[in-house]
Structure 1
């Protein structure tokens, strides 16, 4: 686990409260606990002294939980679930909020992929080479902007060092798994050379279609392997920093290449003659076997970080972070790209830490963001768009008599343009304003309490505004807020430009928490309530895309031009079986509330018991209609036995049934997963902190459907799996 770096310690000492409070609190914590600075905050906060609920995964805990997707890596954290698009793509869901409400960052800067717009698009962070993952639950809009109204997941690595590492250090790891024939390997090295620090890391991963307990799908077929769920991925990073007396400056370059199947992605080729089908999709397995759609992703990323202490009077630290990303992925059928998604993005954050007055310290800054996204081809359901954000923020805190007060405010200007839009409003501007106030209180040497109130506003994303087309990965036809449906006949609905302007989402949330630490035990409780006005979500309309047509600017039906895109048959009756379910983005006032509980008991020197539970409830305030794809309640526990150079662990997680469903959404039954792991730490390799592990997951081969997934009924959780791995640090 990570301790304070010299630069962070110096900054914390300047601010007095965070570091000093934690150093005093450590004597009451378990002997294995170390203080970790949250790099996602400019005020050197830790898990304990933050009024906002924050958790950190690092060290061996991170290595044990590491999976291909970020969503699967975090899926066992209290309050965190995943979108679970099979095992090829999964984004984190925080307290029932996902997509454009959850900011995913790499060292504090947006990952700049297109995962926020669709569950089948991969998140481009890599956890196998990460140092730690920080999770900020609830609105984190002050520093990160309106895209963080639900929370932030910040993946931290060592690509740009802020301090000397002390000669050389590195890591390595590898893993083999049975359920999908997974093989992966990763390694990294950081070293000092004169006044510079250099870092290099890389990974390679390959897996086949994954196995599941046999079930019957909607077509009545018996399924034991999820077709088209393979993954091939590789990436690397090179970074260098120059360290001087009162600061640092560094630059890094990274590249990610990933190819993965897109399960559930069908285009209705079933009715084509078999010879045409074979000609188009034949491969080495035979001319009659279809080559299913897959994604080919490439991302190049450059990051620049620089920081200096005491640059001018009144400024304790000035830090700059800039990132440029060039992203592209193609969805390929046979040998031909059917759809291409691109994103070119610039992001700049400039932060100045300053002493306000007395014991008050703060951070003021500017955050700029420019994004150019394009989609073209068969599944380009959103037009090309430009999004520009400019934000000013200010954070402040002080500590008096065991109370750590924290407050802040942010103003943002957001401009979203779709210049090539065929009809409807092509440009929107919004001005979100967010503020928060919180307090953390050391009520007792063993008890710390926290409370935080946030008012956060979010501008709609380009996808939520302009979507108008078939989204085959989710088997839906999406309509954005900029459009309306008008019934023109029994089976005819016109898509027209919207007459109502989309509104800002406005969230008012309250968090209450307690952290209780005593000799050999730990208890952490979070309660939350969040009222969001004008909440944007995808509501199923009950319509079929075969019923839709588009009217031109003069109100005339343009059926011939759009009949193939939307689903009309040129002659005869509409084929509803071939059409897609129509979902439309709507705005309603909603209420979300729930809890997260985690606990640890050191029963003896050898035996340790961990447990957690979480729950989220969400519905509209008018009529109490449930929101779609809400995570079910979970209860989990694991028992660990440690004996010197080895330890073993057995755990069980129960996922409750989800019967609180939205319109046109089915209930999901409960299921439980039994897992076990054995770790061996060879003493002969103590200097490399080597560990070898055997892991068994879903040992009872339980069939489990993930309610938050668009592919719930087609891609359940993986079946029984055994894996062996090795990891080490030096």
Structure 2
């Protein structure tokens, strides 16, 4: 019934012609088109984005399209990052978290080569929205850190990251930020070629990864464009640097080995090499069609995603010697993920007060099975979701621009099996939002507001001991900000925000063992709304041979929802309890890029990225799983045909830890790469990367399994990209 209603709404929105979705217009658009963001995409981009790229950033890396209208990064008050072109080719990994981990303010969880979600400013899970072309991934990746997002970075044309208040246009759950993966499954432009082909292949030594992806766009005449794409990825177990298990795990095992006279226990805890049960196999395929006219466009896409991957086990000194480093019955769990998805996008130029009407929607049927070591299905997760978004973009009137819109999200979620830890639940969210901006010359100001109603219901479940539960929440959020031009291309800004977020079904209703994270999770159905006040100051600039961005932020939370390890165990699993308390987050993040010289056709550039987060739970101490201070510096020599880069990343020790957390040692990682375009046409590009050159042991504090699942060791990667 809901799917029929979704199609009905989509049909109504599509009954008028349309132009590319403004929250994600043609990613190949040039910065000079910022002031002409409403132009029809029937006019093709002058050059392909990859052709325009001269190494570190593509020509349009200075604009943000994840917004109601295209804006310069300098004009966005919150922290923003763009990954596209050759930089995206060099950084691309099998997971969205690892792909983005070098950006300012971004860390990642880590469960091996197949599972890694981004962590923005210390926030993860329900406070981060991962979008594909402006619409949610419609999976269960927000439910647990071991659940991979059903989005393949191999299909991305461009990835944008918004941190801070600007992300609230995409939902109250985006308080930490938004990651928008922009692809071309619904074509946005008419190719100038008879056939537009984009192929990419990768090999990685650390996980023996082999992957390939292809995109095909064909103009069929009369403004109709057909699209097809597909990708395949296969990895073995991840080879790590140093010990598999952290120092505290090894010391604990050694103490037990001495006490129990079992020397083999200490030997087992001191293993190195490959991380057991982290192999993966993923494929996806999609087809799309668009009708593009001078006054609008209409398009849809259908896709299928499947992935089979393993999750590393905890080391249990009480049950050693059973393969994979112990772990009771929860070792060697594999997840078999399947998703079928339907996407639609429409846009029409209306004229008058509102220059454009846009609709973007998606529906998906998702399932994954958690497979036990004997091959039996232990637990299955089912999720059916529908999400839609309508925007009316106001015409520019003397420097006043804006947009108003509405959004809905419907979700039916259930878990079945031996380790069911959540009852069947349904979530309905409806929101209204607006963004208004004012260009007053040197002074620019903007205001945004969002109202969101959430209806969350859980069915009675005898096994979990919960009755029928229905909770309703009304959340109001708003932001105000302004920036001032200190000099051409340099702006200082200040913004404030008040946000509210309804608790999720997982935070309220969890009550049972979860094999993927090897934890017993307990929620609280009585949670109140979470609210916060926030301030953010920014200094941004760009000019000939330089760019920089610096942000400082502070958030005060009331009724902050977090999970913490209690120290208890149920069924040999550590208990993680959701709780609510006041909290405070503050931090700094910045990036700087400078051209040092021009020598023999090469630009010699240097860049620096840094970020720091400090987070406390009132009355408890440090918040759990907060990333440590990080600095990353790089040196590049760039030309039209050849680019070389070396970078050093220093992640410091994290000793500010929550109860029952363990400290995480810092590390210094050195990476290098060389990219070559052998032909003047630039149709072919080759990239060779060497990551973690000195094979150091590295762990991310934000990962719940960081003591048992380190990052990759020395990794040689080769990528080839061909465009026609």
TM, length-normalised to structure 1:
0.84
Residue 643 of structure 1: CA displacement?
Answer: 5.4
Q: Which residue in 2 is equivalent to 1:517?
A: 542
**1-structure distance, mates of 2:96, 2:228:** 21
Q: Which residue in 2 is equivalent to 1:374?
A: 414
Deviates more, 1:255-264 or 1:136-145: 136-145
Q: Which residue in 2 is equivalent to 1:592?
A: 585
**2-structure distance, mates of 1:353, 1:707:** 42
Q: Which residue in 1 is equivalent to 2:708?
A: 714
Higher Cα Rg: structure 1 or 2?
Answer: 1
8 Å CA contact 1:35–1:46 kept in 2: the answer is no
Pairing 1:654–2:650 present? yes
Q: Which residue in 2 is equivalent to 1:618?
A: 615
**Any residues of structure 2 matched to 1:113-512 within 5 Å, and which?**
113-140=139-166, 142-167=168-193, 168-194=195-221, 195-215=223-243, 217=245, 218=249, 219=253, 220=266, 221=268, 222-264=271-313, 292-310=332-350, 313-333=352-372, 334-355=374-395, 359-421=399-461, 422-424=465-467, 426-482=469-525, 501-512=526-537
Q: Aligned to 1:307, what secondary structure does the other structure show?
A: strand
Q: Which residue in 1 is equivalent to 2:23?
A: none
**2-structure distance, mates of 1:291, 1:85:** 13
Q: Aligned to 1:258, what secondary structure does the other structure show?
A: strand
Residue 37 of structure 1: CA displacement?
Answer: 4.5
**2-structure distance, mates of 1:360, 1:680:** 45
Q: Aligned to 2:165, what secondary structure does the other structure show?
A: coil
Structure 1, residues 198-239: CA drift from partner, whole Å, max 9, x if none? 211111110100111342633532132100000101111211
Higher relative contact order (CA 8 A, sep 6+): 2
**1-structure distance, mates of 2:443, 2:152:** 37
Structure 1, residues 110-130: CA drift from partner, whole Å, max 9, x if none? 001111110110011111121
Deviates more, 1:151-160 or 1:579-588: 579-588
Q: Aligned to 1:73, what secondary structure does the other structure show?
A: helix
Residue 268 of structure 1: CA displacement?
Answer: 11
2:692 to 672, 680, 698: 698
**1-structure distance, mates of 2:158, 2:58:** 17
**Any residues of structure 2 matched to 1:92-107 within 5 Å, and which?**
92-107=118-133
Pairing 1:670–2:670 present? no
**1-structure distance, mates of 2:371, 2:108:** 25
Q: Aligned to 1:636, what secondary structure does the other structure show?
A: strand
Q: Aligned to 1:61, what secondary structure does the other structure show?
A: helix
8 Å CA contact 2:313–2:331 kept in 1: the answer is no
Structure 1, residues 511-563: CA drift from partner, whole Å, max 9, x if none? 11111334322221111111111110012222222xxxxxxxxxxxxxxxxxx
Deviates more, 1:101-110 or 1:640-649: 640-649
Residue 159 of structure 1: CA displacement?
Answer: 1.2
Q: Which residue in 2 is equivalent to 1:637?
A: 633
**1-structure distance, mates of 2:432, 2:123:** 25
Q: Aligned to 1:432, what secondary structure does the other structure show?
A: strand
Q: 1:690 to 1:321 in 2, by over 3 A?
A: same
**2-structure distance, mates of 1:268, 1:297:** 31
1:535 to 526, 547, 560: 560
Q: 1:471 to 1:139 in 2, by over 3 A?
A: farther
Q: 1:658 to 1:537 in 2, by over 3 A?
A: same
Residue 444 of structure 1: CA displacement?
Answer: 0.7
Q: Aligned to 1:604, what secondary structure does the other structure show?
A: strand
Q: Aligned to 1:62, what secondary structure does the other structure show?
A: helix
8 Å CA contact 1:88–1:229 kept in 2: the answer is yes
8 Å CA contact 1:410–1:433 kept in 2: the answer is yes
RMSD in angstroms over aligned alpha carbons? 2.6
Structure 1, residues 54-88: CA drift from partner, whole Å, max 9, x if none? 22111111111100110000000010000112222
Residue 43 of structure 1: CA displacement?
Answer: 2.3
1:67 to 93, 96, 100: 93
Residue 46 of structure 1: CA displacement?
Answer: 2.7
Residue 266 of structure 1: CA displacement?
Answer: 8.7
Deviates more, 1:40-49 or 1:376-385: 40-49
8 Å CA contact 2:497–2:533 kept in 1: the answer is yes
Q: Aligned to 2:557, what secondary structure does the other structure show?
A: strand
Structure 1, residues 23-52: CA drift from partner, whole Å, max 9, x if none? xxxxxxx99743655332112223122122
**2-structure distance, mates of 1:303, 1:424:** 36
**2-structure distance, mates of 1:233, 1:678:** 27
Q: 1:447 to 1:440 in 2, by over 3 A?
A: same
Residue 161 of structure 1: CA displacement?
Answer: 2.4
1:544 to 569, 576, 582: 569
8 Å CA contact 1:525–1:597 kept in 2: the answer is yes
**1-structure distance, mates of 2:320, 2:639:** 62
Q: 1:452 to 1:729 in 2, by over 3 A?
A: farther
Q: Aligned to 1:60, what secondary structure does the other structure show?
A: helix
**2-structure distance, mates of 1:269, 1:330:** 28
**1-structure distance, mates of 2:138, 2:473:** 21
Residue 296 of structure 1: CA displacement?
Answer: 0.7
Deviates more, 1:300-309 or 1:157-166: 157-166
Q: 1:59 to 1:160 in 2, by over 3 A?
A: same
Q: 1:31 to 1:272 in 2, by over 3 A?
A: closer
Q: Aligned to 1:431, what secondary structure does the other structure show?
A: strand
Q: Which residue in 1 is equivalent to 2:573?
A: 580
Q: Which runs of 5+ in 2 are unaligned?
A: 1-26, 41-55, 254-265
Residue 620 of structure 1: CA displacement?
Answer: 2.0
Q: 1:33 to 1:448 in 2, by over 3 A?
A: farther
**1-structure distance, mates of 2:275, 2:713:** 11
Q: 1:591 to 1:471 in 2, by over 3 A?
A: same
Q: 1:82 to 1:613 in 2, by over 3 A?
A: same
Deviates more, 1:231-240 or 1:35-44: 35-44
**1-structure distance, mates of 2:171, 2:331:** 41
8 Å CA contact 1:671–1:703 kept in 2: the answer is yes
